[in-house]
Structure 1
Amino acid sequence: MAATSALTAALVVLAVVGVPAVAVAVDALASLRARGRVYAFAGTRANSDFEVLVPIWGSIRYLENADYLSAHGDRVVLCTPAGESDDFYSDLYALARRHGFRVFVASFTAPRTGGRRATSGTVRDRLIRDALEMVRAKYVVPLDADTTTVRPLDLLVGELVRQGADLASVRLVPLNSDTLLARLQHYEYRLAMQFRFLASWLVSGACHVARTEVLADVMSRHSLFFQGNDVEVGLIARALGYRVAHIPFEVPTTVPGTPRGWFRQRLAWAGGEFRLFVVNARFVGRHPWFWVYGGVVTIALAPLRWLAVDDVAGGVALVSSLTVALVLYAALVACLHWKHRGPALLVLPFYMLFVSLVMPLLGVLWYARMAWQDRNLGIIRPNLVRVAPRAPEPTPAGHGSS
């Protein structure tokens, strides 16, 4: 009995200490990898041999970066499914004509979402996969409809060429800081972006860059599961032997500023993490750091973190357990973010504790919901080629439906 209690206590301590300890280790290693590197892109030659694929469906109001994209004219392809409303196509083609964009209409129909942005489904990845067959440029940049970049995309493509890489992740930088919740996410994103110096294949769906033939090969093998779809691109590319790099090319992104928007996003992310770390755990041998952090520490030890805040392990009081957990998270916060400290830093330990306690468990349920809804388990099979139906060529802005 004593041995069992001791083992339980040891596991509880591991669960509580594990997240801070691994996070500190990851940040330290990533910082060492980044040390001495200068990312001024001074030696990078701009390369304009690329096309930009922008998925857009449901509502034209989601296309928020049209003015930014207008500098690239007909190198921009607006990718949309069949079956949208006449008003949608009329507005889309009018906008395309105004900026000189091309329009690609896929052969499939998107499910209705009641006017809300989709957080699951296969539409986005099917659009990219099908449109890639029509890209004639040597390089391609998939870009979300609400995403812009700090530097010109020509430099991003040029840096990919300079590094001799086939695919590259970029650096997402939160744009808004008008609420406490948004400011807390600035700290999260900083740590996540540092991780990419260790795991460059942690690609972001909002923006990445690749050789066209490489991304076409990768997307032909993609499971089309939405949450975790971006990381799946990097995993498949690495499994196929392509060279994946990280380019600290800053891409501003708007983070949720309200509890409702944040919780909806994180619930979907948690389901995607369960899909990557547990359902596809066979990749642990290829990327052990990633799976120890996400699969073991974050998800597998989540139930034990609940034990740490319950009346367990020899009668430790709830308040004492919470205090220990918060002290550990406070130490983590000080270690990771002291150089970027601000008032929000005082709240960050509570925020991190909530995320580590609640979201991994809800992620299991949300993954099951998404998998059932889309009839797709999200199993990553790099060696399985999924043949897509042949789609029509993108049309110039002056043609097509109206």
Structure 2
Amino acid sequence: MTQVAWWVVVLSFLVIPVVWVLIDRAPALVAGFTGRKPSAGSPNEDFEILVPIYGSVSYLENVDYLRQYGAKVLLCTTNGETAAFYRDLAGIAEKNGFRIYRAEAVAGGIGSDGRRATSGAARDMLVREALEHVVRAAYVVCIDADSVTERPFGELVGMLAANGYDFASVPLVPSNTGTALGQLQAYEYRSAMKLRHIAPWQVSGACHVARAEAHRAVMRRHSLFFQGNDVEAGLLAKALGYRIGHLPFAVSTAVPDTVKSWYRQRLAWSGGEFRLFVMNLHLLVRHPVFWIYGAIVTTLGLPLRWVTLATGGWALLVIFGLHFVATVCVHWRVRTPWLLLLPLYSLFNSLVMTPLGAIWYVRMAVADRNAGFIRARRSRSSRKLNPLATA
């Protein structure tokens, strides 16, 4: 048991600093290897904005921001909402010049507790249906109902076109960081966004941009499993041969501001990570570094981390100290007193949320009758897939 614990210590000495430094230096590394930064290009206005909204119009928090785009905005909703919801949504659309797409083939996306479901196919089916039946622009921007930007979307689409990308991720910046929980998530997002310079296929549902035809092809193969759905879209785009990049276009998005809402979100996210890293091991061939880390180090290595925690002593102190030093060094330029809690925050995610994610994945898969397997291979048949077909 002691030998196992010290093996974990050695692994931590080698892996943790390297991972943190690579994440922090990702932009410079990418620029160095490629020899260029993304081109700004000229603004391109040939786009439509898809905003999935269901359950309650109160979730549509960025109406004032979206108003500048008028008819480019397509509010995508289900056929399972209340009469009051449709009435209120119609009022918002009429006042701001938005369009509404009500997908008759998509049932409501509300859980049994009356809140938006953290699983289910509603959101992705709305996007897929809208792309198939309504979107006619050359480009599409998908954005959550609580996200905003400082720069116009025309610039983002222009960058996508100028760099020859078909799909692109963008950096997300938490907008509500007034609490300790918000500050911890801000550090977490900062590292995750830098990682996308190396792995741009890790797109986010909060906001991403794509050529409409590429996005359409991706969604025809999408499993419709909600958690991990955004990364799945990026993986499918990569597998289908589309060019994917990361564009420096900051998007502000709201993050959970209470422990309860944070826990509910992270439990679902952990289930999505288990689905991607464990249930889709065939993707190891395409992205071995990330899947070895996610499936082997994070998931299969969980018992070893618990062994190290249980044995305690110098091994645990060394691991924690090394992680703390690396964390402070990486985030030194944006340091706050809350940075002291980040190692504990990461430890909780690693030891507690990882195993709970496996359980939550099973629950979601059974409830939705969808295992979330990703069909990354090209179909031998060139016939168009039925946009309403399930995975």
Common topology (TM > 0.5): yes
After TM superposition, which residue ranges in structure 1, 4 or more long, deviate above 6 angstroms?
36-41
Q: Which amino acid aligns with 2:331?
A: H
Distance apart, 1:102 and its partner CA? 0.9
Q: Find 1:95's aligned residue among 88, 92, 95.
A: 92
Alpha-carbon distance between aligned partners in 1 of 2:18 and 2:118, rounded to the nearest angstrom: 29
Corresponding residue for residue 397 of structure 1: none
Corresponding residue for residue 228 of structure 1: 228
Distance apart, 1:18 and its partner CA? 6.3
- For residues 313-392 of structure 1, the aligned pairs below 5 Å read 318-382=312-376, 383=378, 386-389=385-388
- For residues 143-162 of structure 1, the aligned pairs below 5 Å read 143-162=143-162
Q: With structure 1 as the length reference, what TM-score do the two structures score?
A: 0.89
Alpha-carbon distance between aligned partners in 1 of 2:369 and 2:10, rounded to the nearest angstrom: 36
Q: Find 1:46's aligned residue among 38, 43, 46.
A: 43
Q: Which amino acid aligns with 1:13?
A: V
Alpha-carbon distance between aligned partners in 1 of 2:59 and 2:37, rounded to the nearest angstrom: 32
Corresponding residue for residue 204 of structure 1: 204
Structure 1 contact 52–77 (Cα < 8 Å) conserved: yes
Alpha-carbon distance between aligned partners in 1 of 2:212 and 2:27, rounded to the nearest angstrom: 31
- Per-residue Cα deviation, 1:43-65 (whole angstroms, up to 9, x for no partner): 42111000011111111111111
- For residues 169-188 of structure 1, the aligned pairs below 5 Å read 169-188=169-188
Distance apart, 1:329 and its partner CA? 1.6
Corresponding residue for residue 129 of structure 2: 130
Give the stretch that moved more between structures: 143-152 or 162-171.
Answer: 143-152
Alpha-carbon distance between aligned partners in 1 of 2:234 and 2:315, rounded to the nearest angstrom: 39
Distance apart, 1:325 and its partner CA? 2.9
| Cα distance change, pair 389–286 in 1 and its aligned pair in 2 (3 A) | closer
Alpha-carbon distance between aligned partners in 1 of 2:197 and 2:293, rounded to the nearest angstrom: 15
Alpha-carbon distance between aligned partners in 2 of 1:322 and 1:224, rounded to the nearest angstrom: 41
* Aligned-residue CA RMSD (Å): 2.1
| Cα distance change, pair 160–246 in 1 and its aligned pair in 2 (3 A) | same
Identity over aligned pairs, percent: 51
Corresponding residue for residue 70 of structure 1: 67
Distance apart, 1:231 and its partner CA? 0.3
The structure with higher relative contact order (CA 8 Å, sep 6+) is 1
Structure 2 unpaired stretches of 5+: none
Structure 1 contact 15–297 (Cα < 8 Å) conserved: no
User: Are 2:275 and 1:268 equivalent residues in the alignment?
Assistant: no
User: Are 2:82 and 1:61 equivalent residues in the alignment?
Assistant: no
Alpha-carbon distance between aligned partners in 2 of 1:303 and 1:22, rounded to the nearest angstrom: 22
Alpha-carbon distance between aligned partners in 1 of 2:251 and 2:341, rounded to the nearest angstrom: 26
| Cα distance change, pair 258–321 in 1 and its aligned pair in 2 (3 A) | farther
Corresponding residue for residue 86 of structure 1: 83
Structure 1 contact 329–353 (Cα < 8 Å) conserved: no
Distance apart, 1:115 and its partner CA? 3.1
Distance apart, 1:17 and its partner CA? 4.4
Alpha-carbon distance between aligned partners in 2 of 1:178 and 1:188, rounded to the nearest angstrom: 15
Corresponding residue for residue 28 of structure 2: 32
User: Are 2:248 and 1:252 equivalent residues in the alignment?
Assistant: no
Structure 1 contact 223–378 (Cα < 8 Å) conserved: yes
Q: Which amino acid aligns with 1:326?
A: F
- Per-residue Cα deviation, 1:306-332 (whole angstroms, up to 9, x for no partner): 000113xxxxxx354442332122122
| Cα distance change, pair 389–375 in 1 and its aligned pair in 2 (3 A) | closer
Q: Which amino acid aligns with 1:220?
A: R
| Cα distance change, pair 117–389 in 1 and its aligned pair in 2 (3 A) | closer
How many residue pairs were aligned?
Answer: 379
Structure 1 contact 12–305 (Cα < 8 Å) conserved: yes
Corresponding residue for residue 109 of structure 1: 107
Q: With structure 2 as the length reference, what TM-score do the two structures score?
A: 0.91
Distance apart, 1:363 and its partner CA? 1.0
Alpha-carbon distance between aligned partners in 1 of 2:20 and 2:80, rounded to the nearest angstrom: 49
Q: Find 1:13's aligned residue among 3, 9, 12.
A: 9
Alpha-carbon distance between aligned partners in 2 of 1:354 and 1:22, rounded to the nearest angstrom: 21
The structure with the larger Rg is 1
Structure 2 contact 20–327 (Cα < 8 Å) conserved: no
